[in-house]
Amino acid sequence: MQLYNNLSNKERAELIEKAGKERLTISFYKYAKIGNTQIFRNHMFLAWDQQDVLGRIYVAKEGINAQLSVPAENFETFKKHLDTISFLENVRLNIAVEHDNFAFLKLKVKVRNKIVADGLEDETFDVTNKGIHVGAEQFNELIEDKNTVLVDMRNHYESEIGHFKNAVTPDVDTFRESLDLIEEDLRAHKEDKKLVMYCTGGIRCEKASAYYKHKGFKNVYQLEGGIINYVRQINEKGLENKFLGKNFVFDERRSERISEDVIANCHQCGKPADLHTNCANEACHLLFIQCNECKEQMENCCSANCMEINKLPYEEQKALRKGQGNSNDIFKKGRANHLPFKKDLRNIFESQSK
């Protein structure tokens, strides 16, 4: 009985290309109390492996978070299986704006302590006591209200390439950082302001909405289904799009274009650009924004030093990396000091939060 992926990325890519079938990029999450996470994890892997589902899935006692690539012809079978699980019946599936057959190349189902790391140890915090979910139409109305504070619950490198108009975009590297930062800045407005939050697919702002209710905020809202579902709704209903730029996604695509606005800049030359690149140097892998001209000139690298290393034979590169561990730059997400045009972010809330 196979319970883990046993194919390499290259082998899987070749199979996908040979099959020549359309695949759908889908994400969903659900906060729920799961007893035996390992048994649940194995059950999901076995069912999805048979359906040729690929992706990255986290299972924890607080629920499930899944980002998947599903063969279009198997979608109904996939959905019917979800509906056999009580807490996943009729779960909202966020279908990507843009599809890529190679968005995921393996099926990875992992057991984690939490599906969204929050650093919280408060046993009285109930993650299921969430805020009010709103669709795209009500969301558009809410964010025009002068008593609303709109907060982006994503990290700095996500909001840098795209965010809603007039949104507060905290300068944070992790979700956990944003929880305390937002509470501190809005402490005086727990009763008189409407706190409206959004994220990529809804999972982070749903936990955040429960957290802020737990902390005494009276009017807490979240964009249901996040940016992904918002785009689907505005397209279906002909609503005004209030999102600028691109939506960062956590698969091989890295982003989906929502509007034609380019609100970011190349971290190397400063030209308007919003395409993230992972430095080609295996010892670096810094995630940063790079325009096409710099990509060609710098050979997908973030610095001249990384270019030189990347040109070395593989065995020499491997020898250089031996015992070194990851470069600290891998965790900086575009903040590395050698990037001359990295965005200068500050922990400042816009005037609408005052």
The pair phi, psi for residue 96, each rounded to 5°, is -60, 150
Do 221 and 291 lie in one domain? The reply is: no
What's the domain count of the chain?
A: 3
Per-residue pLDDT tens digits for 32-53: 999 999 999 999 999 999 999 9
Beta carbons within 8 Å of 66's beta carbon, 6+ residues apart: 26, 27, 28, 29, 55, 56, 57, 58
Domain membership of residue 225 as a residue range: 132-237
The pair phi, psi for residue 49, each rounded to 5°, is -60, -35
Per-residue pLDDT tens digits for 219-277: 999 999 999 999 999 999 999 999 999 999 877 788 999 999 999 999 999 999 999 99
Confidence band, pLDDT 50/70/90 cuts, at residue 346 = low
Specify the length of the chain in residues. Answer: 354
Beta carbons within 8 Å of 30's beta carbon, 6+ residues apart: 63, 64, 87, 88, 91
Half-sphere exposure at residue 82, Cβ-oriented, CA atoms within 13 angstroms: 19
CA separation, residue 351 to residues 143, 146, 166, 243, 277 (Å): 14, 11, 10, 19, 33
Do 289 and 203 lie in one domain? The reply is: no
Do 275 and 229 lie in one domain? The reply is: no
Within a domain: residue 351? yes
Do 94 and 151 lie in one domain? The reply is: no
Query: Which of residues 202, 237, 272 is at a domain's end?
Result: 237
Within a domain: residue 123? no
> What's the rounded mean pLDDT across residues 19-27?
91
pLDDT of residue 324: 67
* Alpha-carbon gap, residue 274 to 262, rounded angstroms: 6
pLDDT of residue 354: 39
Do 99 and 152 lie in one domain? The reply is: no
pLDDT at 309 exceeding the cut of 90: yes
| More confident call, 302 vs 124 | 302
CA separation, residue 86 to residues 63, 111, 120, 337, 352 (Å): 12, 20, 27, 49, 42
Beta carbons within 8 Å of 297's beta carbon, 6+ residues apart: none
Give the end-to-end CA distance of the chain in Å, rounded to a whole number: 58
Per-residue pLDDT tens digits for 53-90: 999 999 999 999 999 999 999 999 999 999 999 999 99
- The model carries a pTM of 0.79
CATH number of the domain that 164 lies in?
A: 3.40.250.10
CATH number of the domain that 67 lies in?
A: 3.30.70.100
pLDDT at 196 exceeding the cut of 60: yes
Q: Which of 199, 205, 266, 291 is catalytic?
A: 199
Check if 294 is active-site: no
